[in-house]
């Protein structure tokens, strides 16, 4: 079953790795009292609908089909998020990118981003940039080319500096220890002793914009992570998240990061390698 919302050259590699992470499940439920039950909805079908919800930001009732109900999608999402499959999928994508292209870990821009979370939930809070409406704060650490390495999420009223530590720890969990004396590029929101102390603890050199100085004078490499935030916000479920469960919020964040990573990998690799399903278009729509 193809997924119409993303190119097959992008969907198929991710599904192949994701399916390898899934635990074995029988086609019929062996605990059914009559010894029979409806067949389990194929994981590929559910994954395709989850990707459709991620891209469009649609509710599960809208993406559900006659063969897969909205509650099946919810239950399968809960199961996958509890297993941490999106985190593992993103880690696999990073490993492939590092092997074929190479991660640029000497430069590590970090930035936060506010998005909407109208239904409240574990990761929602009053947004200081949206008239105190419910929002989500996403902190992202990327490499020098804009590949997302680690993410941390919290309510929108959390300060960027508070999320710096969990963001760095998330990046270490995904790619291993970061190089010593790598440069962390941060905006003026991190200009303070707590942020500098965290960078020192992790062996990073902080290039932090000073407060009160106009941004064009001290842009540095922060535009790289801001571009990645824009890529992430291209997914409707990230841009406007209606999920209440914090684990499912993180599942979607890391699933989007995996798509961003694989898309960047294909765009870079198509100039260096040849394979049968290599896309001919320069831009993956």
Model pLDDT, residue 210: 83
**In terms of DSSP bridges, do strands 183-186 and 107-116 run parallel, antiparallel, or are they unpaired?**
parallel
Q: Model pTM? A: 0.92
Q: Is residue 221 domain-resident?
A: yes
Model pLDDT, residue 35: 64
Q: Is residue 192 domain-resident?
A: yes
Residues of the chain with pLDDT under 70: 1-3, 34-36, 214-219, 281-285
Model pLDDT, residue 9: 85
- Neighbour tally for 207: CB within 10 Å: 17
Model pLDDT, residue 39: 81
Q: How far is CA 264 from CA 25, 121, 199, 204, in A?
A: 33, 32, 28, 26
Q: Is residue 77 domain-resident?
A: no
Q: Is residue 127 domain-resident?
A: yes
Q: How far is CA 114 from CA 128, 187, 250, in A?
A: 9, 15, 15
> The domain containing residue 195 runs over which residues?
104-246
Q: Is residue 285 domain-resident?
A: no
Q: Is residue 255 domain-resident?
A: no
128-132-138-139 Cα dihedral, nearest 10 degrees: 20
Q: Is residue 166 domain-resident?
A: yes
Q: Is residue 209 domain-resident?
A: yes
pLDDT digits 0-9 by tens, 197-249: 999 999 999 888 888 776 655 557 888 999 999 999 999 999 999 999 999 99
Model pLDDT, residue 36: 65
- For residue 126, what is the domain's CATH number? 3.30.420.10
Model pLDDT, residue 279: 75
Number of domains present in the structure of the chain? 1
Q: Which residues of 23-45 are buried (b: 16+ CB within 10 A; e: fewer)?
A: eeeeeeeeeeeeeeeeeebebeb
């Amino acid at each position: 079953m193809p997924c119409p919302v993303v190119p097959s050259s992008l969907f198929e590699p991710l599904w192949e790795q994701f399916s390898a992470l899934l635990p074995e499940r029988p086609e019929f439920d062996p605990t059914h009292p009559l010894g029979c039950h409806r067949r389990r909805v194929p994981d590929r079908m559910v994954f395709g609908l989850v990707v459709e919800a991620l891209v469009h930001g649609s509710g599960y009732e809208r993406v559900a089909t006659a063969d897969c109900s909205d509650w099946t999608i919810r239950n399968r999402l809960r199961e996958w998020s509890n297993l941490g499959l999106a985190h593992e999928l993103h880690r696999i994508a990073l490993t492939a990118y590092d092997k074929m292209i190479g991660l640029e870990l000497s430069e590590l821009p970090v930035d936060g981003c506010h998005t909407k979370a109208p239904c409240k939930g574990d990761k929602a809070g009053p947004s200081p940039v949206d008239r105190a409406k419910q929002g989500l704060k996403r902190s992202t650490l990327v490499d020098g080319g804009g590949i997302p390495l680690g993410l941390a999420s919290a309510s929108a009223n959390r300060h960027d500096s508070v999320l710096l530590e969990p963001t760095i720890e998330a990046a270490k969990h995904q790619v291993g220890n970061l190089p010593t004396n790598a440069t962390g590029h941060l905006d003026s929101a991190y200009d303070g002793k707590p942020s500098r102390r965290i960078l020192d603890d992790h062996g990073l050199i902080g290039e932090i914009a000073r407060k009160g100085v106009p941004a064009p004078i001290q842009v540095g490499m922060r535009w790289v992570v801001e571009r990645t935030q824009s890529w992430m916000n291209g997914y409707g479920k990230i841009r406007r998240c209606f999920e209440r469960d914090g684990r499912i919020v993180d599942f979607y964040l890391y699933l989007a990061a995996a798509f961003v990573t694989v898309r960047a990998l294909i765009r870079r690799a198509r100039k260096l390698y040849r394979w049968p399903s290599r896309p001919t278009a320069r831009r993956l729509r």
